[in-house]
A and B are shown apart, each in its own frame.
Chain A
Amino acid sequence: GAVVSQHPSRVICKSGTSVKIECRSLDFQATTMFWYRQFPKKSLMLMATSNEGSKATYEQGVEKDKFLINHASLTLSTLTVTSAHPEDSSFYICSASRQGGGNQPQHFGDGTRLSIL
């Protein structure tokens, strides 16, 4: 069964709305989680690394104030798209690994399809 749960799976909202996406590790603690963005028929682009108890590390070109990340517990990271506009419409996916580090596979959530009208 799923080990990483992501909610909601689909969001449709008006321009200017802020949208929060949750990523939960179900049966393990994750000090690090990752947030990706994926455009149709394209690959995954890493947006940021979410670190429990500290600030997220954002990739170059990703606006920190636009995409707020909070990792307040060892099983939950949230991504908030603030004042969303149509260009923010995309497929957002999170991932986490059981033991952290780079030598373990990542477990992915099922993604959130965000549509801004």
Chain B
Amino acid sequence: SQQGEEDPQALSIQEGENATMNCSYKTSINNLQWYRQNSGRGLVHLILIRSNEREKHSGRLRVTLDTSKKSSSLLITASRAADTASYFCATVDQGAQKLVFGQGTRLTINP
């Protein structure tokens, strides 16, 4: 089953601009993870943020988590053409191992 919604479903921006994607979920989570998928490939892990964390950074990526609103956001700064991909959030419930994925956001960076 799908955890929740990602917003927007598709996003197209110019190179150099920032991209923000949002994710909502419904359960009590242990952690939330963001993944990137290039077309026809597997997923690549980007960031894992635990339920007791509010913000995490990795290079040009910034992830926030608001457990009171059951939502997370992924910000990609200074976007590049190579950032074109689908981005998925996934949650792990308390006491569980499996990932439950959101619907994903298709990001297109125009040169």
Contacts and interface: CB of A to CB of B under 8 A. Distances in A.
Nearest to B31: A103
Interface in A24-64: 32, 34, 41-46, 49, 59-60
Contacts of A49: 97-98
A16 interface: no
A86 interface: no
A41 B42 CA distance: 13
B31 to A, nearest CB: 6
Interface of A: 4, 6, 32, 34, 41-46, 49, 59-60, 91, 93, 95, 97, 100-111, 113
Contacts, number: 70
B31 A41 contact: no
B20 interface: no
Nearest to A38: B37
Given A32-B97, A43-B88, A103-B30, A95 B43 contact: yes
Contacts of B97: 32, 49, 97, 100-102
B78 interface: no
Given A42-B103, A106-B43, 19 more contacts: A4-B42, A42-B104, A43-B2, A43-B88, A43-B102, A44-B43, A44-B88, A46-B99, A59-B1, A60-B1, A95-B99, A100-B97, A103-B30, A104-B48, A105-B33, A106-B99, A108-B35, A109-B42, A111-B41
Interface in B1-60: 1-2, 30-31, 33, 35, 40-45, 48, 50
26 contacts: A4-B42, A6-B42, A32-B97, A34-B99, A42-B103, A42-B104, A43-B2, A44-B101, A45-B2, A45-B101, A46-B100, A46-B101, A49-B97, A49-B98, A95-B42, A95-B43, A102-B92, A103-B50, A105-B45, A105-B48, A106-B45, A106-B99, A108-B35, A108-B44, A110-B41, A111-B40
Interface residues of B, number: 28
Contacts of B42: 4, 6, 93, 95, 108-111
